[in-house]
Structure 1
């Protein structure tokens, strides 16, 4: 696994981290709020039971007999089976609420008699059900107890818990949406930096702009420093290329002068070879200097203008045939190619089409992903499959009667491949040859 694969997506890691923290915070908040609600509801129940116990104590008549001075069976203590009950015992004597009937509360533990406040106790209801029990023991041996059903605690908690869960769910969705927006907003400077680097690579700008967020500014400074270093190295390479050009052109010029002397080159063949070599050296050194100065990926040459100029020039050159060159190149479509190399490639292809066509040549261009494809078609006789493979070979001419040296298509193919593109030949819908030149966009 590569280092990039181990790192993964920064956006995904930030989102997963934020969502994990949000989920943890919501769970903790839900538990804390639920605990607070449980204590609050339990406190309300205890207060109601304690108030009933105080009422019972104040309603006891003095004397050995266990009697109440007034009826204290207020709702809900008067409803049988409600779970809200009270009981007063002294020895074998017992008083109970209407909801208790002839049954008794089984109090298994009670607070000390010297405690003047009701306290929670352990016990069970008449049917053995669990209750919330409060008990007060008086100094004379009287025990006053009041109970409430467990549903009085769990019912409100269940309803409040459902409302709380729904509220926390909505809050979680809002926080998640906020986290997504925050991550997108926070990573936007990196996306903008990527676009600026793409502009540098495409040749639309020389450097990354200096105004950047504080966190991205050191990265932008390092990128600009790297660009400056590459520019300095390319300038040094340009100097070496210039020195090489001088070292090659001088001996060629000397050789050309020597061959111009009488008797040195009777048939002129050596002079032609020297001239051809000089042109090739100049062309390739010029392209090397251009690549060393800017780099092929940072050159941007629009196609519409050169194609239109070339079409007009070749129409005049082949005026005796009445050749008509039509162009269909979208404005703004550009190739990452040196203008001189583009002129040479298109010149070879369009001139070849004008040479072999009957009357019409068509030039079109379109974007194909990250590349640009220029198609040159003619209405001439075309070529067979074997001839299509042979015509791109250097020095290969299919018809010796036609002027030329047989290097045009081979040179075009080599130049296109130098830029990472290529040349493909096939049959045109117009009946002749179609050459498809592919170059980086």
Structure 2
């Protein structure tokens, strides 16, 4: 599974935090609003409760009572029944009041018409204590399982006795108000979430743009199109760009020093070897002189081989060196045709357009030159060179360059292929060479992270397949 990009991780992290913060804020606001609605509802219930107690505590005037009875006027009773709220007279409306005497032998109960034949529970019996204002408040289940908010207060009316006054209201009003608020709140927070996420996307996209520029610049350096990170960067990113450029400069300096040391060493060894060879050559066919000349030639080959390895090892670490493959192969084919013109060797080249080698030209010439020269030595009439650029599972930034050299010569058995890969191994002493060609190719390819494979060619001889990093 591929790791998530930095932008994706930042976006997911920001999204999670936005959702969590808004969720917590929504819960808090919803709770605060519901509590506010409850307090407003409780104030309404307490107003009705105080009105009820005031009406109940008002002494009756006998003259007024007789006068109203004679006239059949029920206005006073209706005033107590409604408390200024018509819902107290509508049967089972959800709004009820009740006055119940709690002392004396004979119970006395007065209730609103809306209560009909039902009754209200006692909060005292439910274990609810009086609060600081001397009332009890709670949600209860009313007639027909109605959801009620109820307030209850004990009242001492002196000579008229002690009563328990209760007023209950339909609590669905609280639920409806809270539900409406939650709906508006959810819609508002949803819009806010979308806005914040869009803002986050904008910030992440433009905030990480300098890093994308650095990534593109590094890719250009790897492909050989640039040598340094160029352009202006934000002050947070500028140190990274400076250190990267410093690393590139230090890398190039190390390579140059290595090349200088290799050249100095080659020059220092070349002169003594030349003196030895010249002195031995003055002795003609003397066996001792011949042995010295033989060993001097071996020393030259070995020194050249190891110096070349050191030179290539230094250059292989260079970042941003790229070589066009087709021109190198074409020039090499023309050179080999001239060298082997007496044998009429035909060299057929099929190179993919745009194929590039991630390395220096002289190293590519060294490797392919050894392979093509070896093929021309053993070919009967034909040598084929094919260049392929293939994408690897690593992605388009890491293609593989394949250079395939086939000849129509006698070829090699599997055992012989293993043998010729060794340093200095020659199967036929009649052919010119030191036996180091394939070994040099193998070592140089390995320094670039590549390889050399030997097999059977479709045209009858040996196939040498060189695998190298491409661009």
When normalised by structure 1's length, the TM-score is 0.76
Q: What is the distance in 1 between the residues matched to 2:172 and 2:204?
A: 46
1:24 aligns with 2:46: no
Q: What is the distance in 1 between the residues matched to 2:340 and 2:142?
A: 118
Aligned to 1:4: none
1:159-186, Cα deviation, whole Å (9 max, x unpaired): 6546655765675576567656655654
Unpaired segments ≥5 residues, structure 2: 66-75, 393-397
Aligned to 1:80: 91
Q: 1:53 to 1:231 in 2, by over 3 A?
A: same
**Pairing 1:275-314 to 2, within 5 Å after superposition:** 277-278=299-300, 281=303, 285=307, 288-289=310-311, 292=314, 295-296=317-318, 298-314=320-336
1:242 to partner: Cα distance: 3.6
Q: 1:173 to 1:324 in 2, by over 3 A?
A: farther
Q: What is the distance in 1 between the residues matched to 2:219 and 2:150?
A: 76
Q: What is the distance in 2 between the residues matched to 1:190 and 1:265?
A: 71
Unpaired segments ≥5 residues, structure 1: 1-7
1:105-149, Cα deviation, whole Å (9 max, x unpaired): 54758899xx9xxx9644767669874235799997798753213
Q: 1:280 to 1:196 in 2, by over 3 A?
A: farther
Alignment root-mean-square deviation, CA? 4.5
Aligned to 1:5: none
Per the alignment, in what secondary structure is the counterpart of residue 369 of structure 2? helix
1:148 aligns with 2:148: no
| Aligned with residue 418 of structure 1, among 438, 447, 461 | 447
Tell me, yes or no, if the aligned pair for 1:350 and 1:376 is still in contact at 8 Å. yes
Aligned to 1:101: 116
Q: What is the distance in 2 between the residues matched to 1:305 and 1:98?
A: 108
1:426 to partner: Cα distance: 0.8
Q: 1:380 to 1:178 in 2, by over 3 A?
A: farther
1:251 to partner: Cα distance: 1.7
1:100 to partner: Cα distance: 0.9
1:320 to partner: Cα distance: 4.9
Tell me, yes or no, if the aligned pair for 2:379 and 2:461 is still in contact at 8 Å. yes
Aligned to 2:226: 205
| Aligned with residue 150 of structure 2, among 122, 129, 133 | 133
Q: What is the distance in 1 between the residues matched to 2:323 and 2:170?
A: 87
Aligned to 2:37: 41
Q: 1:173 to 1:326 in 2, by over 3 A?
A: farther
Q: 1:394 to 1:58 in 2, by over 3 A?
A: closer
Q: 1:16 to 1:39 in 2, by over 3 A?
A: same
Q: What is the distance in 1 between the residues matched to 2:93 and 2:457?
A: 96
1:328 aligns with 2:338: no
Per the alignment, in what secondary structure is the counterpart of residue 68 of structure 1? helix
Q: 1:130 to 1:252 in 2, by over 3 A?
A: same
The count of residues paired between Structure 1 and Structure 2 equals: 429
Q: 1:432 to 1:180 in 2, by over 3 A?
A: farther
Tell me, yes or no, if the aligned pair for 2:94 and 2:146 is still in contact at 8 Å. no
| Aligned with residue 386 of structure 2, among 341, 364, 379 | 364
Tell me, yes or no, if the aligned pair for 2:262 and 2:310 is still in contact at 8 Å. yes
**Pairing 1:29-428 to 2, within 5 Å after superposition:** 29-46=25-42, 48-49=44-45, 63-64=60-61, 67-69=77-79, 72=82, 76-87=87-98, 95-105=110-120, 106=122, 108=124, 121-122=136-137, 131-134=148-151, 145-158=166-179, 160-161=181-182, 164=185, 168=189, 175=196, 179=200, 182-183=203-204, 186-200=207-221, 203-209=224-230, 211-259=232-280, 261=282, 263=284, 274=296, 277-278=299-300, 281=303, 285=307, 288-289=310-311, 292=314, 295-296=317-318, 298-368=320-390, 369=392, 370=398, 371-428=400-457
Q: 1:264 to 1:324 in 2, by over 3 A?
A: closer
1:92-112, Cα deviation, whole Å (9 max, x unpaired): 876533221245554758899
Tell me, yes or no, if the aligned pair for 2:221 and 2:319 is still in contact at 8 Å. no
Q: What is the distance in 1 between the residues matched to 2:309 and 2:444?
A: 10
